[in-house]
Homo-oligomer: A and B are copies of this chain.
Amino acid sequence: MTNEELRTQIAELLSKRELRRLRDMLVEIRPADIVERISELSPDDMAVVFRILPRQVGADVFEYLDADQQKTLLSSLGHERAAVLLNEMDPDDRTALLEEFPPAAARQLVQLLSREERSIALRLLGYPEHSVGRLMTPDYVALREQWTVGQALEHVRAQARESAGNLHILYVLDQTGKLVDDIRIRDLLLSPLNAPLANLMNHSFVCLNATDDQEVAVHHFKKYDRTALPVIDSQGHMLGLVTVDDVLDVAEEEATEDIQKLGGVEALEDPYIKTPLLHLVKKRASWLVILFVGEMLTASAMGFFQSEIEQAVVLALFIPLIISSGGNSGSQAATLIIRSLAIGEVTLQDWFRVFKRELAAGLCLGLVLGFIGFLRIAVWSTVGNAYGPHWFLIGLSVSFSLVAVVLWGVLSGAMLPFLLKRLGLDPATSSAPFVATLVDVTGLVIYFTIAAKLLGGILL
Contacts and interface: CB of A to CB of B under 8 A. Distances in A.
A328 to B, nearest CB: 4
Interface string A348-361: 00100110010011
A454 interface: no
Contacts of A185: 167, 185
A346 to B, nearest CB: 5
Copy number of this protein in the oligomer?
2
A280 interface: yes
The SS class assigned to the A binding surface is helix
A431 to B, nearest CB: 8
Nearest to A186: B160
Interface in A317-348: 317-321, 323-325, 327-329, 331-332, 334-340, 343, 345-346
B372 A292 contact: yes
Contacts of A302: 316-317, 319-320
A323 B184 CA distance: 61
B432 A289 contact: no
A70 interface: no
A197 to B, nearest CB: 17
Interface stretch (A18-26, A47-55, A72-80, A259-267): A259-267
Given A222-B248, A227-B228, A292-B325, 11 more contacts: A30-B224, A32-B225, A157-B189, A160-B189, A258-B259, A280-B361, A288-B365, A289-B368, A291-B325, A324-B436, A328-B436
A275 B345 CA distance: 12
A334 B331 CA distance: 15
Contact of A306 (B226, B252, B313, B440): B313
Considering the complex of A and B, which 8 residue pairs feature the smallest CB-CB distances, nearest first? A263-B335, A255-B255, A298-B320, A168-B168, A302-B317, A160-B186, A227-B227, A328-B433
Contacts of A289: 368-369, 372
A2 to B, nearest CB: 15
Contacts of A323: 320, 324
A335 B268 CA distance: 12
